[in-house]
């Protein structure tokens, strides 16, 4: 008798936006803003029976040393608009957008997600982020910026209110989708009354629930408060812990927090962001991976990364020479508007760069390429499929958010070469068995 197959993997496709890991200089790279790019990747993900397609959010053009970052100038469309258009060219794929609770209002955002959820037939997901900087906050009324703990208390109140609005229509409150010109019993469309430190709202939702009941809630944020918020609230965590050991520690930590907050350990799925490089042999894959790392980290990018760590102008450094022989400086940030510019332990990170450069004899650019590399799975399709399965079996995650290094064709090889192997091994669906995102994720309503 053969052993029963382990639990199924969950897969999502991440359209990278402006990250340096996307190689826009590659001749195969397409537009970052054309609908055809989004549509190609979404259709590829659906062909691969993925759980969902996923967009990040960046609300202000990044700057370094007062200059706008070139990649940002290529543009970043508003996510719910993009996903609404994708709903029309896909039938089963989940559609998830990252939206900040710091810069939005609950009634408005709950309504926009409820609309996407209805338009797509129950496929919407909301990645709740609190966003990290006053720089982005300048775009908004009131300055929009809150201290870290206030961002999370706002996020908790925001999500609770959004959920109350999504749950406020009694089942059967509507008789189908046509108005019959009658007055409805008041008790069937409940008024949501909320009064808290952040929001004072008395509202009725304007939409019935979708076939999945309410949008799936995803969360990305890694502090103690972020983890507590995710463990008590989210259906899915988008994590940055993409190695086996870090993944196992993270999963054990957030599952423990989920249980302490009264949920079951499996109520929250953990999906780290990962990338992959395939080759006909392990050696070919390793060579391709190295080429890609150097496409990603050009000489100018290497200097920019070093400046983000050292927080000082390093334009005089030779990217093909040694690391800067000066110490990092604290104080006002040189780089604004990207997650990596948040306050890091500059002494510790620069020491890691130095150690790597010294022990392996690497130049500044080579060190930057190694330190910023997120190449999680490198090998033949068989090796990649087996390693991914091993991660899930070791409880390092429940699946993966795949971040291609090329748009819009970067997912093609994974869907053509790895997905069939995951299916053969009985670890990934061969066809959709549900029409909703909640159903794909195996979550209860
Ligand atoms: C994997 C991951 C992805 C994130 N993606 C976004 C994003 O697309 N947009 C955004 O504004 N913030 C994003 N964030 C930042 C979070 O919103 C949060 O502000 C930041 O991580 C600080 O919170 P923390 O201290 O709890 O980690 C992301 C964070 C993580 C860990």
CB-ligand 1 contact for 139 (6 Å cutoff): no
Spatial contact of 310 and 326, defined as CB atoms under 8 Å apart? yes
What is the tens place of the pLDDT at every residue in 170-217? 876 555 556 666 666 666 788 999 999 999 999 999 998 999 999 999
CB-ligand 1 contact for 210 (6 Å cutoff): no
Q: Which of 57, 132, 135 to mutate to test the pocket of ligand 1 (most atoms within 8 A of CB)?
A: 132
**Cα 38 to Cα 47: distance, rounded to the nearest angstrom:** 14
CB-ligand 1 contact for 433 (6 Å cutoff): no
CB-ligand 1 contact for 240 (6 Å cutoff): yes
Stretch 424-428: mean pLDDT, rounded?
A: 98
Fold of 10-169+210-275+375-440: TIM Barrel (3.20.20)
CB-ligand 1 contact for 19 (6 Å cutoff): no
If you measure from the C-alpha of residue 399 to the centroid of ligand 1, how many angstroms do you get, rounded to a whole number? 19
**Cα 145 to Cα 56: distance, rounded to the nearest angstrom:** 19
If you measure from the C-alpha of residue 179 to the centroid of ligand 1, how many angstroms do you get, rounded to a whole number? 41
Stretch 108-115: mean pLDDT, rounded?
A: 98
Residue 340 tokens read as 């990596």
Q: In this structure, what DSSP letter does residue 8 have?
A: P
Pairing state between β 335-336 and 276-278: unpaired
Q: Please give the model's pTM, rounded to 2 decimal places.
A: 0.94
Highest-pLDDT range among 1-10, 129-138, 144-153, 246-255: 246-255
If you measure from the C-alpha of residue 239 to the centroid of ligand 1, how many angstroms do you get, rounded to a whole number? 9
Beta strand ranges found along 295-444 (DSSP E): 335-336, 377-379, 399-402
If you measure from the C-alpha of residue 220 to the centroid of ligand 1, how many angstroms do you get, rounded to a whole number? 5
Write the CA distances from 319 to 24, 104, 139, 250, 306, integer angstroms: 20, 41, 35, 35, 10
CB-ligand 1 contact for 97 (6 Å cutoff): no
CB-ligand 1 contact for 236 (6 Å cutoff): no
Q: Which of 219, 224, 339, 340 to mutate to test the pocket of ligand 1 (most atoms within 8 A of CB)?
A: 339
Does 101 or 186 have the greater pLDDT score?
Answer: 101
CB-ligand 1 contact for 341 (6 Å cutoff): no
If you measure from the C-alpha of residue 131 to the centroid of ligand 1, how many angstroms do you get, rounded to a whole number? 6
Residue 2's pLDDT is 47
**Cα 445 to Cα 381: distance, rounded to the nearest angstrom:** 35
Residues with Cβ within 8 Å of 60's Cβ and at least 6 positions away in sequence, in order, are 135, 136, 138, 139, 336, 337
CB-ligand 1 contact for 283 (6 Å cutoff): no
Q: How confident is the model at residue 342 (pLDDT cuts 50, 70, 90)?
A: low
If you measure from the C-alpha of residue 251 to the centroid of ligand 1, how many angstroms do you get, rounded to a whole number? 18
Residue 68's pLDDT is 87
What is the tens place of the pLDDT at every residue in 265-323? 999 999 999 999 999 999 999 999 999 999 999 999 999 999 999 999 999 999 999 99
Stretch 338-344: mean pLDDT, rounded?
A: 62
What is the tens place of the pLDDT at every residue in 361-389? 999 999 999 998 878 999 999 999 999 99
Closest ligand 1 atom, residue 152 Cα = 26
**Cα 148 to Cα 213: distance, rounded to the nearest angstrom:** 31
What is the tens place of the pLDDT at every residue in 243-270? 999 999 999 999 999 999 999 999 999 9
Stretch 148-152: mean pLDDT, rounded?
A: 89
Spatial contact of 73 and 60, defined as CB atoms under 8 Å apart? no
For the chain, give every domain's residue range: 10-169+210-275+375-440, 283-372
Residue 271's pLDDT is 98
Stretch 54-58: mean pLDDT, rounded?
A: 93
Residue showing tokens 């760590």: 309
Asked whether the predicted pLDDT for residue 143 surpasses 80, the reply is no
Does 137 or 8 have the greater pLDDT score?
Answer: 8
Asked whether the predicted pLDDT for residue 19 surpasses 90, the reply is no
Least trusted range by pLDDT, from 17-31, 36-50, 297-311, 321-335:
17-31
CB-ligand 1 contact for 98 (6 Å cutoff): yes
Residue 135's pLDDT is 86
Helix (H, G, I), strand (E, B) or coil at 407: coil
What is the tens place of the pLDDT at every residue in 62-96? 888 888 887 777 888 999 999 999 999 999 999 99
Residue 182's pLDDT is 67
If you measure from the C-alpha of residue 243 to the centroid of ligand 1, how many angstroms do you get, rounded to a whole number? 19
CB-ligand 1 contact for 223 (6 Å cutoff): yes
């Amino acid at each position: 008798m053969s052993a029963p197959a382990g639990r199924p993997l969950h897969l999502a496709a991440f359209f990278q936006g402006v990250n340096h890991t996307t190689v826009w200089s590659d001749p195969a790279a397409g537009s970052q803003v054309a609908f055809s790019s989004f549509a190609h990747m979404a259709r590829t993900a659906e062909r691969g029976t993925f759980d969902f397609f996923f967009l990040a959010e960046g609300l202000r053009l990044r700057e370094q040393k007062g200059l706008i970052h070139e990649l940002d100038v290529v543009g970043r469309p508003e996510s719910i608009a993009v996903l609404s258009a994708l709903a029309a060219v896909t039938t089963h794929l989940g559609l998830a957008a990252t939206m900040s609770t710091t810069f939005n209002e609950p009634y408005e955002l709950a309504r926009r997600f409820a609309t996407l959820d209805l338009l797509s037939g129950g496929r919407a997901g909301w990645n709740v982020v609190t966003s990290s900087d006053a720089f982005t906050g300048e775009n908004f009324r009131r300055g929009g910026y809150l201290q870290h703990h206030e961002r999370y208390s706002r996020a908790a109140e925001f999500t609770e209110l959004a959920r109350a609005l999504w749950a406020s229509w009694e089942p059967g409150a509507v008789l189908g989708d046509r108005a019959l010109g009658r007055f409805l019993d008041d008790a069937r469309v409940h008024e949501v009354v909320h009064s808290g430190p952040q929001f004072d709202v008395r509202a009725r939702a304007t939409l019935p629930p979708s076939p999945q009941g309410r949008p799936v809630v995803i969360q990305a944020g890694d502090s103690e408060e972020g983890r507590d918020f995710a463990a008590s609230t989210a259906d899915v965590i988008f994590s940055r812990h993409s190695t086996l050991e870090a993944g196992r520690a993270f999963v054990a930590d957030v599952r423990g927090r989920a249980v302490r907050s009264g949920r079951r350990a499996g109520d929250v799925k953990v999906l780290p962001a990962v990338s992959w490089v395939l080759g006909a042999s392990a050696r070919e894959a390793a060579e391709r991976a190295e080429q890609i790392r150097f496409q990603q980290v050009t000489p100018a990018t290497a200097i920019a990364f070093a400046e983000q760590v050292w927080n000082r102008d390093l334009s005089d450094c030779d990217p093909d020479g040694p690391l800067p022989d000066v110490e990092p400086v604290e104080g006002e940030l040189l780089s604004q508007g990207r997650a990596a510019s948040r306050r890091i332990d500059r002494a510790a990170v620069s020491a890691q760069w130095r150690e790597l450069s010294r022990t392996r004899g690497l130049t500044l650019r080579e060190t930057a390429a190694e330190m910023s590399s997120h190449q999680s799975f490198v090998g033949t399709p068989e090796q990649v499929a087996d390693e991914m399965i091993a991660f899930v079996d070791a409880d390092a995650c429940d699946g993966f958010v795949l971040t291609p290094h090329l748009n819009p064709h970067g997912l093609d090889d994974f869907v053509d070469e790895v997905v069939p192997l995951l299916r053969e091994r009985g670890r990934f669906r061969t066809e959709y068995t549900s029409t909703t995102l909640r159903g794909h994720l195996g979550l209860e309503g």
